[in-house]
Every structure is written in C-alpha cells, then in structure tokens.
Amino acid sequence: MPSLKDIKKRIGSVKNTQQITKAMKMVSAAKLRRAQEAAVAARPYAEKLQTVLANLARREEADAHPLLVQRGKGRALLVLMTADRGLCGGFNANVSKAAEQFIRSNEHGFEAIDLMITGRKGNEFLRNRLGENIVKVHENLAANLSYKTAALIGQEIVASFEEEKYDAVYLIYNAFQSAISQVVTLEQLLPIKPEGDLEEAGSTDYIYEPNRLEVLSQILPKMVEVQIFRGLLESNASEHGARMAAMDSASRNASEMIGKLTLQYNRARQAAITKELMEIISGSESIK
C-alpha cells in the first residue's frame, strides 16, 4: 500500500498536469475560432471553383489541357495532411490510418502510390510502415499558414503531373465539422474529374478570353492550389477542435483521479491515526 507521502505527491502531480491541460484547452479554444472562420470562409469559393471546373471538364476534350488528361494506372501521389504536434486525440492517427489503408488496398489498381505528407506526426506514424512510399514531408506549415504556402505545394504537384511522373493525385485530410467532429475526407485532385454528363450541365456556356488554352492554363492549376489551401485550413481547424476536446476530456479525467486519490489519502490517513491510537491504548494498558 502506498504511503501518505506517495499519495500526496501523486495528487500534486495530477494537479500540475490538470493545470497544463486546462491551459492547452484555452489556447486551442482561442485558436479554433480564427481557424474555423478561415476554413468556413474558404469553402464557398473552393466549392464553386470545383463545380465550374467539373463543368469545364465535361465540355472540353481530354487533350485540351494536360491537367484534364485521364491517363492509365501507373504511379499515383497521395497528399496526406496531419499536424506537427500531438495531444489532439485521434486526429493524426485516424487520417494516417486512412492513408495507409488507401495505399495498401490500392482499390484503383495503380502500379505504385507515393506519399507526400504535411505535418510531422503523419511522417512519424507512417515512416516505419510505409517509409519507402514517402517522397516528401512538409513540416511547420501551421506556424505561418498562408495561400502562398499552399500555392508552392500546388505548383510542385502540378509540375509532377504535367511531367507525367504521376497519373493521378489524391488529397486526404480531416474536414472540420465541429469542435468534436472531424471527418476524414479523400478527394481526387488530378486529373480534374468531370462529374455527370453534358446534359446535366444545363444550358450554361463559357466564353474564353483571350483564348481557351490561356484561360485553362491559368484556372486549372489555380484549382489545385485552392484545394490544397482549403485542405490545410480544414486540417488546421480540425486540429484545434480535436485538441480542445482532448484537453477537456483530460482535465475531467484528472479531476476524477484527484477525487479518487484524495479519498485514498484520507482513508490511509485515518488508518494511520487509528493505528497510532491503538498503539497508545495498548501501551497504556500494558503499563497498568
């Protein structure tokens, strides 16, 4: 049975941990509001751009632009978005496991699937499992998250696709739903995939100025950059929401543990006092 000193020391340790978890919860709650506003604000533009380009892909010939070309099943690239820090519940593990499942199952029948990771935790999780698939890791993006950062990643992806290094590019990340709900989302970035048939597009038509090729050369790579930026914003908001929920749960668990340890301490103290009284009484009786 632990001594009173050991129990008291453990209570103090749990209280210190609780102070840390409460502080981390408050920090994440403050960051979550800004991150959530940024993610929600980016959705309408990204979704509308995706819809417009899906309509364009239905109307254009496959050879109208390299990003529209539907190729074979050679090599593919999966872009995985995780966090640089832990202590956020299953946020990193869930999306990393989904990426591992996507590569191992290879439902689309690719010859090989490479992995590009944003975030240190995704690399730590997968480097021993899929180390041979990891081609690049981007870290510390959340510290200075901007469209310029996403654009550089998007340009790198577009260049690899245009050089025919990859036949398809996919993006997997945690989409933000609420502070306690994040949904692992898998999207195809390239080639730009037409949805439905031409009749479903309605009577909408597009006029290209100055010409079709120049417009497509500007707007199609931009779509990849926007989707990367949206994924980073969604992942960032999801991270703060998951960490806030995890730290709240940890704080409540610490309170329960402190209560149990305090009860154990009081019982041990009472037992010690009772033992001392019995010894005094026994000693007194022996003198008589």
Active site residue 167: no
Q: What are phi and psi of 230, to 5 degrees?
A: -60, -45
| Alpha-carbon Rg for the chain in angstroms | 28
Residue 172 to residue 187: CA distance in whole angstroms: 6
Which of 7, 76, 77, 88 is the catalytic position? 88
Tell me the catalytic residues. Answer: 88
